[in-house]
Amino acid sequence: MKLQFTKMHGLGNDFIVIDAISQPTSLTSLDPTTIRRLADRHFGIGFDQLLIVEQAREGGDFRYRIFNADGGEVEQCGNGARCFARFVRDYSLTDKNTIRVETARGIITPTIENNGEVSVNMGIPRFDPAQIPFITQQRALTYPLHINDREIKISVVSMGNPHAVQIVSDIDSAPVTSEGPFIESHPLFPEKVNAGYMQIVDRTHIRLRVFERGVGETLACGTGACAAVVCGIARGLLDPEVQVAMRGGYLRICWEGENHPVWMTGSAVTVFEGTIDL
């Protein structure tokens, strides 16, 4: 079976996008073993996530499915959402600038701006531990978490996927790759978690690194940027509009507070097209 794909990235967080509308694709041919092989940067194509464009089922314009490099399906991906929007517009699957996209956690509405960037309504963040999910007795702004014989302080939130955010003084020396895997698989997160490390520069600027669930550290994480800003605002440390600097580039995140959606704006870039024999 030959599979056509498009390689894209959002701030270095890279994807292959598969059009399963014009090119009907059975997901049985994209089992976790095949996805892991395609994700391998030496023996496959190489990517952080696989994005699949499908026909809508519940009143949206499209359906959007996301698979991590380890083959597991996940609920949401902010950088992927921007690439998804650019893909369906650039490949003439729609002529709309604003589209309604069904995800595993509800509808998102990406908008392609006049300058080519994409803004995405990422929905209302969820702080209820049961909705994240996070095992604790009651909701709080921060929680202690024991990792490798030391205690860290985290904020937890769901942006359609679970995030644990901690504040560090220096992002460059933060133990992202050594500590991140232990946070990701901590037993208090029954569905695992994305581990974010946030350095606050000032009330409108942060630096961020994220160890992503099922992937490892990526150059950028859209939902991670939303989660970090939301947690910072909830703790009274950030203003409603924040620029997030990640290793792959910058995002602008806006949040007016609880019960309001988070807006994310940034770039989405097509790298190349290809065909691979499965």
Distance, CA of 6 to CA of 227 (rounded, Å): 28
Half-sphere exposure of 116 (CA within 13 A, CB side): 6
Residue 259 assigned ligand-binding role:
no
Of 221, 226, 231, 254, the active-site residue reads 221
Helix axes 222-234, 78-90, angle to 10 degrees: 130
148 annotated to a ligand binding site: no
77: annotated active-site residue:
yes
Q: Is 171 helix (H, G, I), strand (E, B) or coil?
A: helix
Please indicate if the annotation marks 78 as binding a ligand.
yes
DSSP codes joined into one string, 99-164: --EEETTEEEEEEE-TTS-EEEE----B--GGGTT---SS--S-EEEEETTEEEEEEEEESSSEEE
State which amino acid sits at residue 233: I
Annotated catalytic residue within 77, 226, 231, 254: 77
Binding site residue list for substrate: 13, 49, 68, 78-79, 161, 194, 212-213, 222-223
Annotated binding-site members: 13, 49, 68, 78-79, 161, 194, 212-213, 222-223
Catalytic residue numbers read 77, 221
